[in-house]
Amino acid sequence: MKEQSRRGWWVRRSRVAYWLNLKREAVRTRRAHLDYYARLYDPAYSGWVRFQEAVGAFQSRCREAEVPLVALVFPMLSWDLNRGDYPFRYVHEAIGRELKAHDVASIDLFSLFQGKASVRLEVIPRIDGHPNEIAHRIAADTLFRTLLEQGILDASYIPEHTMGQEAHWEEMRKKMQSVE
């Protein structure tokens, strides 16, 4: 207790101590976040066991109803997706193995989001890392293309007013040139 009050005194009176304390807390928070996810995906954790059972049950019910099942695996958008040290690749692998074990088709969206600014993909950047409308649009477009390619959806589902991504960018280039 005395150590905390001494540290608090220094933090309140020194910019260097304040900055060092911020860095210390950032490291502590990052470690706690990583530990939390390591626990969630620990094979012995009851939540992971329930997830495995739920995937099997869900796939079974979808098969009975003759409904195709495709799972989307989003990356943790609150982490830097640009660098090579994304710490949750093992989570994607574990989920992918589990989906494959139950014969569930899946799309890992990590490569689609890699290289994009994660703050542009979060609901509230640095506060709520859930996917926002931009991230959901990327996922929806990918899912739609996949369903078409696998024959799950017929081409008649393609809206008349849509164009491919290349056609979209070409149209944008034309509009930008006409402005100049």
- Looking at the fold, whether 134 and 48 belong to one and the same domain comes out as yes
How would residue 26 be classed by pLDDT, with cut points 50, 70 and 90?
Answer: confident
- Looking at the fold, whether 15 and 99 belong to one and the same domain comes out as no
> For position 115, what pLDDT does the model report?
83
Residue 51 structure tokens: 């997830």
Q: Distance between CA atoms of 76 and 130, rounded to whole angstroms?
A: 8
- Looking at the fold, whether 154 and 105 belong to one and the same domain comes out as yes
The total domain count for the chain is: 2
Q: Distance between CA atoms of 37 and 42, rounded to whole angstroms?
A: 9
**What is the mean pLDDT of the segment spanning 15-29?**
76
How would residue 90 be classed by pLDDT, with cut points 50, 70 and 90?
Answer: very high
Q: What is the DSSP string of 89-110?
A: HHHHHHHHHHHHHTT-EEEE-H
For residues 48 and 90, the answer to whether their CB atoms sit within 8 Å is no
- Looking at the fold, whether 10 and 96 belong to one and the same domain comes out as no
Higher pLDDT, 154 or 67: 67
- Looking at the fold, whether 45 and 26 belong to one and the same domain comes out as no
pLDDT tens-digit series, residues 68-89: 999 999 999 988 887 677 899 9
- Looking at the fold, whether 98 and 175 belong to one and the same domain comes out as yes
| Phi, psi for residue 164 in degrees, rounded to 5 | -65, 165
Residue 1 has pLDDT above 50, yes or no: no
Q: Which are the contacts of 69, defined by CB distance < 8 A and separation ≥ 6? A: 58, 59, 62, 104, 105
- Looking at the fold, whether 13 and 46 belong to one and the same domain comes out as no
- Looking at the fold, whether 10 and 93 belong to one and the same domain comes out as no
- Looking at the fold, whether 51 and 15 belong to one and the same domain comes out as no
- Looking at the fold, whether 163 and 75 belong to one and the same domain comes out as yes
- Looking at the fold, whether 27 and 4 belong to one and the same domain comes out as yes
Q: Distance between CA atoms of 51 and 104, rounded to whole angstroms?
A: 13
- Looking at the fold, whether 53 and 23 belong to one and the same domain comes out as no
Domain that holds residue 2: 1-32
Residue 3 has pLDDT above 70, yes or no: no
pLDDT tens-digit series, residues 33-48: 889 989 999 999 999 9
